[in-house]
Structure 1
């Protein structure tokens, strides 16, 4: 992302000379001939650095400094002053200027100050970003995201957690159903007791029965001693039955008894064992359809669905992908001793356009692979797996006829994307794969307007 700098000086040769000296591929430099013009530009753009002369006709540098700081408190300001006005420069620093230089300006010193401000800005933005990101991650039991579907899900969990109700958690594979179950347990009165997960599809019928209910010595070949099952282990706590649709009819009968009577018998035993447990179940299939088809006990289905929670697929919470991606990058970079890594706008846009059939679990695997295979400090579009780049390669529908220029096409795409996101510049910039400041500059450059397009629309 290019840094943006504004130079204000009433002398044409001075401002143009300074512009040429500090402008580069990574820096965009604007100029203003007086304080009023500079302030107008500051109101319309997000600048990183302001370089201003102190003595100018009309609004002087000191007034510009004060007004600029009101508009942009984080703006780094360098003031330029003649030898005889050092006192004014010192006063400017008291008012928030970063530093001052005397005229004629030493370009090496100016370059050093500009780079210091930009480094400080980068560090501050990175620290703030990580603070916000970590707060979002730690704020709710590992359920990462701030999109409306995830906010709604968290509110439902808060409502459900304190009760004793059985909960059926539905959602596609990889959406995080176990995390939801864990959150319900952690927010419940049972949080100091065990949370016992059981992945029903991973075990055969006989093994699953023994795993859930336990067995007595000699109950079957190899049962050389008594063994407590998961229901006993979860007493006073919570048991989570993942992929509940995969259990056999025989086990369904025994599970129904646990739900109704809170009791069961071990395999090969006659003793009735009572337990106080909360049962949470999850499925990626439509249990109601299975019940109607006779493939799942209808009475058990109704016992399980006292309360239902649906976990949204990743394609319905695209706005959470950047947060999720950064969390995974941070985790896998640490695990693989890669240091701090970031991801380019282009790579992130590709991730956001992909449909993610494997949901969050697939994204996690992709990010781990990208981090491991990366050779630099930033993940680029080339690090994104080919199949994701291919499937997410959505080109704008632009009809090119006559003497249409590249600028015309860019303007049209920006306008259409602003319309799509109701004037939200942050979302528009993310969708286009460019920085927000770049978008704002292009909006003013092309004279693009939108009914909701203002600085508060984000």
Structure 2
């Protein structure tokens, strides 16, 4: 239930507002003998109704102060005075709406409802949420194989509940998309769906990104910023690559799961947050728990409703319809008129192991569409990276034992070749290549720079 703060001295108008709003919201009043700053810190206020007293020397002083203290909270201004210049001034100072007294119960309820809806939408805009071009309908998900049909049936049931969900599967199997399908087929579908990739945000910044921070919480924090969990209030938060989160942050997230509350960095006010959390990982969390890299209590807390997505090689029946769908999508994007895939291409797709799963299939088709000059994708324009052997381990023979003397390479050339093969197999995603090579991403990045390896998808100076 949203918290509404009413700043109104008249008992008559307080009574009207109580009658109109108390069944829908938690309504509190000020003045009540407490300083307004202290009052704002006591609860997380979702909206404010402010009665302006124009007989005061500076009637807009309180409105300015409120916008400074809680800049993201909508303020509905009421007044017995209706002058155009005053209305314009109130809006310029940050008022969401200006209502002239007397007003009806229905009028104030309608305006307040719009103010809260706008606040929710603004949270999504802050997250840079763009209009979805994906239709999250379970009925339109390609699921020809029995394994995938079972997954979709499970997700339908999960979407009807409000429990925490853990989605597992290899890289590129569609964990992010299907997490969106869960949200947009749930009772929270009209509320925000916020995605957070735990590997894309530096560890030092991830806590602030999730929980937000108060002004002055750290160097450079020159204003209050709401976090992703607060943006997702009422909806769902999707935590991708949860296996990369540090144990310390896992402990703080455990409280969010248990109590649905948290504090911003540098703040002491508890913020209640009604949201559903969906997590995903391509790691084996059981092994990480056993190795002490993942908190056991956190693992059991997120492992309430679990679904494992099959790899593309485990759903062969889905390959052809998926390829045709991705072909149409690429043709729309690249504005090309290609009608289909040749029989030889379909056969190659079915026989290939697809280590990069659907993401690799999409990239392969996009490349073929760019190269193709006829109205059908031919085999000559399809490039499939051959899977490479796992990296050498201590138990396996050394490079000098495997290579005949006549084919011996300098060490740096052999190292470069091995890194290139691993990058190609992992679609040039350095994090995944580092995992396969059993070295840290930082070490791989150093070697890439040292060996002069580049790729057009990488940002400069990365």
Shorter-chain TM-score category? 0.5 to 0.7
Structure 1 residues 207 and 278: CA distance shift in structure 2, 3 A:
same
Counterparts of 1:83-162 in structure 2 under 5 Å? 140=138, 143-162=141-160
Q: Deviations over 1:36-72 (max 9, x none)?
A: xxxxxxxxxxxxxxxxxxxxxxxxxxxxxxxxxxxxx
Paired residue for 1:293, among 268, 288, 291? 291
SS for the counterpart of 1:282 is: strand
Instruction: Tell me the residue number matched to 1:245.
Output: 243
Counterparts of 1:149-298 in structure 2 under 5 Å? 149-298=147-296
Report how far residue 144 of structure 1 moved: 2.3
SS for the counterpart of 1:271 is: coil
Report how far residue 250 of structure 1 moved: 1.7
Report how far residue 340 of structure 1 moved: 3.6
Q: How far apart, CA to CA, are the structure 2 residues paired with 1:375 and 1:355? A: 27
Q: How far apart, CA to CA, are the structure 2 residues paired with 1:390 and 1:226? A: 49
Report which stretch shifted further, 140-149 or 313-322: 140-149
SS for the counterpart of 1:235 is: coil
Structure 1 residues 273 and 386: CA distance shift in structure 2, 3 A:
closer
Asked if structure 2 preserves the Cα contact closer than 8 Å seen for 1:201 and 1:243, the reply is yes
Q: Deviations over 1:160-182 (max 9, x none)?
A: 11111101100000000011111
Report how far residue 328 of structure 1 moved: 1.0
Instruction: Tell me the residue number matched to 1:401.
Output: none
Report how far residue 139 of structure 1 moved: 5.1
Report how far residue 341 of structure 1 moved: 2.2
Instruction: Tell me the residue number matched to 2:381.
Output: 383
SS for the counterpart of 2:213 is: coil
Q: Deviations over 1:308-331 (max 9, x none)?
A: 010110000011111111111111
Q: How far apart, CA to CA, are the structure 2 residues paired with 1:202 and 1:176? A: 18
Asked if structure 1 preserves the Cα contact closer than 8 Å seen for 2:136 and 2:185, the reply is no
Structure 1 residues 270 and 141: CA distance shift in structure 2, 3 A:
farther
Paired residue for 1:326, among 294, 318, 324? 324
Structure 1 residues 286 and 163: CA distance shift in structure 2, 3 A:
same
Counterparts of 1:299-318 in structure 2 under 5 Å? 299-318=297-316
Q: How far apart, CA to CA, are the structure 2 residues paired with 1:242 and 1:330? A: 28
SS for the counterpart of 2:354 is: coil
Point out where structure 1 has 5 or more consecutive residues left out of the alignment: 1-136, 392-458
Structure 1 residues 201 and 377: CA distance shift in structure 2, 3 A:
same
Report how far residue 303 of structure 1 moved: 0.3
Report how far residue 390 of structure 1 moved: 12
Paired residue for 1:349, among 347, 350, 375? 347
Q: Deviations over 1:194-213 (max 9, x none)?
A: 11110001111121111100
SS for the counterpart of 1:220 is: coil
Q: How far apart, CA to CA, are the structure 2 residues paired with 1:149 and 1:199? A: 27
Q: How far apart, CA to CA, are the structure 1 residues paired with 2:315 and 2:281? A: 20
Structure 1 residues 182 and 313: CA distance shift in structure 2, 3 A:
same
Report how far residue 386 of structure 1 moved: 5.3
Instruction: Tell me the residue number matched to 2:98.
Output: none
Q: Deviations over 1:119-151 (max 9, x none)?
A: xxxxxxxxxxxxxxxxxx885276323211111
Q: How far apart, CA to CA, are the structure 2 residues paired with 1:378 and 1:147? A: 26
Structure 1 residues 141 and 303: CA distance shift in structure 2, 3 A:
farther
Q: How far apart, CA to CA, are the structure 1 residues paired with 2:223 and 2:190? A: 29
Q: How far apart, CA to CA, are the structure 2 residues paired with 1:295 and 1:143? A: 35
Report how far residue 384 of structure 1 moved: 1.3
Instruction: Tell me the residue number matched to 1:128.
Output: none
How many residues align? The count is 255
Structure 1 residues 142 and 246: CA distance shift in structure 2, 3 A:
farther
Q: How far apart, CA to CA, are the structure 2 residues paired with 1:389 and 1:258? A: 41
Q: How far apart, CA to CA, are the structure 2 residues paired with 1:274 and 1:207? A: 22
Report how far residue 356 of structure 1 moved: 0.6
Point out where structure 2 has 5 or more consecutive residues left out of the alignment: 1-134, 390-462
Q: How far apart, CA to CA, are the structure 2 residues paired with 1:223 and 1:243? A: 27
SS for the counterpart of 2:226 is: coil
Asked if structure 1 preserves the Cα contact closer than 8 Å seen for 2:136 and 2:181, the reply is no
